[in-house]
Amino acid sequence: MTRVAVIGAGPCGLSQLQAFRSAQKNGAEIPEVVCFDKQNDWGGLWNYTWRTGTDEYGETAHSSMYRYLWSNGPKECLEFGDYSFDEHFGRPIPSFPPRALLRDYIIGRAVKSDVRDWVRFAHVVRDVSYSEATAQFSLRAVNLVNQVDIEETFDYVVVATGHFSVPNVPSFEGIDRFPGRVIHGHEFRDAVEFREQRLLIVGASYSAEDIALQCRKYGAASVTCSYRTGAMGFDWPDGIEELPLVDRFEDSTVYFSNGEIREIDAVILCTGYLHHFPFLSEDLRLLAHNRLYPGDLYKGVFWINNPKLMYLGMQDQYYTFSMFDAQAWYARDAMLGRIELPAESEMRADSKTWQRREKALADPIQDIDFQTDYCKDLSESVDYSLDWDLAAENFKHWEHHKEESIVGYRNQAHPSPVTGTQAPIHHTSWWEAMDDSTESFLGS
């Protein structure tokens, strides 16, 4: 029997399991699916934990989730095409839920589809290699509970480990003598820790933006964001500023490249993450940075050198859950023989066409249209659907709302691309909502 290994039981891995279960429910014969996850429960990055550095087994801590995190994009832009928020919660809910509700939504579909038996929890994959002779992959994993090694063969491998868990950590002159705390955003857990402190955040992307707001909201004395190429440029609330890149540290004094000087108590490096796959043999390993269309992947999914290996969610992301679904459905149909992949030369040509278009993108609106077209390209070939155009409009409105008010955009409401339902306005403005519990958010 054909066997498929899925590495990771976060949103990407669960999308792949859902795709196979959907086909099975529609009468298809599916392969044996085995999903490996080093954590004790599914959810991937959405499994909030107080742990940083290593977990209880000595493995690197996967989650970058922090307390008080709310969705920084409309939930309507990540909604599953086959499982709406209305269905899960039994009623419409506001557009920007806290992390606990989003995890509950992710898990709700997986529970409904009854795919838990396909997952081997507390199993970390150590090695994956491919044999030309057998046309199969050899996968070695360790059961972390009893430290027993297992080795099995598979016909296909789906890498669904994400790329937001291995920090990219730059260095600056003098930072080794900085007397305060220095962490990467991956280790950030609670904004209250930085109450009354003068905080430096290095970075100018989504994590820098949100952690800056979180820390100021929960009492940081001041937040200075340092950018390398360009400022985020929002109309920040009092107490948040942007300066060019750090030049050097001298004790607790930070010198910036434009000559400005600030006294700082703590530093958070929001400097991105690495695509890191040490468990794959070198000939299978994707080398990429955070971009909308990674190289060497056909349809952004299939490893061109060996398309029996697939990667999910390796893109820089506007879309998340719904894009992972579109990728997983397409990967599934290729594995089931419903989609025939072209010759290697055609796959490379197709990938380069997308990458040329990516290089010409000039602003976030064009980025959104690009990734919308990518999702449409995938979903048009499979039995997965939602209103991608409405989702794209939601994204564009979200971008404009952020420009209008970086502390107020979460107070907006958007329509669902699945049900068409208009979300209600949350009962409390985000800047004033200090309680992120499910009970508070839902008003129950």
Contacts of 52 (CB under 8 A, 6+ apart): 61, 183, 186, 187, 189
Q: 130-134, 198-202, 289-293: which has the minimum mean pLDDT?
A: 289-293
Q: Rounded to 5 degrees, what angle do the CA atoms 160, 161, 166 make? A: 155
Four-point Cα dihedral 438, 440, 441, 442, nearest 10: 80
Every domain range in the chain assigned CATH 3.50.50.60: 3-165+273-395, 175-269
Four-point Cα dihedral 115, 117, 123, 125, nearest 10: -60
Fold of 175-269: FAD/NAD(P)-binding domain (3.50.50)
Q: Does 133 score more than 70 pLDDT?
A: yes
**DSSP-derived secondary structure letter, 4:** E
pLDDT-derived band at 443 (thresholds 50, 70, 90) equals confident
Tens of pLDDT, residue by residue over 67-115, are 999 999 999 999 999 999 999 999 999 999 999 999 999 999 999 999 9
Give bridge partners of residue 200 from the DSSP assignment. 224, 267
The amino acid sitting at 437 is: S
**Quick one: average pLDDT of 177-202?**
97
**So what's the pLDDT on residue 272?**
94
CATH architecture entry for 3-165+273-395: 3-Layer(bba) Sandwich (3.50)
Q: Does 131 score more than 60 pLDDT?
A: yes
Tens of pLDDT, residue by residue over 369-391, are 999 999 999 999 999 999 999 99
**So what's the pLDDT on residue 354?**
97
Q: What distance lies between CA 328 and its chain's CA centroid?
A: 15
The pTM of this model reads: 0.96
The answer to whether 378 touches 371, Cβ cutoff 8 Å, is: no
Exposed (0-12), middle (13-18) or buried (19+): which is 437, by Cβ within 10 Å? exposed
- Cβ atoms within 10 Å, residue 272: 19
Rounded to whole angstroms, how far apart are CA atoms 280 and 265? 40
The answer to whether 431 touches 217, Cβ cutoff 8 Å, is: yes
Rounded to whole angstroms, how far apart are CA atoms 315 and 334? 20
Helices and strands (H, E) in the chain, number of each type: 9, 18
Q: Does 169 score more than 60 pLDDT?
A: yes
The answer to whether 314 touches 292, Cβ cutoff 8 Å, is: no
Q: Does 58 score more than 70 pLDDT?
A: yes
Tens of pLDDT, residue by residue over 405-439, are 999 999 999 999 999 999 999 999 999 999 999 99
Rounded to whole angstroms, how far apart are CA atoms 361 and 363? 6
Q: Does 346 score more than 70 pLDDT?
A: yes
Residue with tokens 């993450």: 273
Four-point Cα dihedral 204, 206, 211, 213, nearest 10: 90
pLDDT-derived band at 166 (thresholds 50, 70, 90) equals very high
Rounded to whole angstroms, how far apart are CA atoms 39 and 56? 10
**So what's the pLDDT on residue 444?**
56
pLDDT-derived band at 180 (thresholds 50, 70, 90) equals very high
The answer to whether 114 touches 355, Cβ cutoff 8 Å, is: no
Q: Mean pLDDT score of the chain, rounded to an integer?
A: 97
Rounded alpha-carbon distances, angstroms, from residue 288 to 139, 169, 203, 302: 23, 16, 19, 14
Rounded to whole angstroms, how far apart are CA atoms 208 and 291? 18
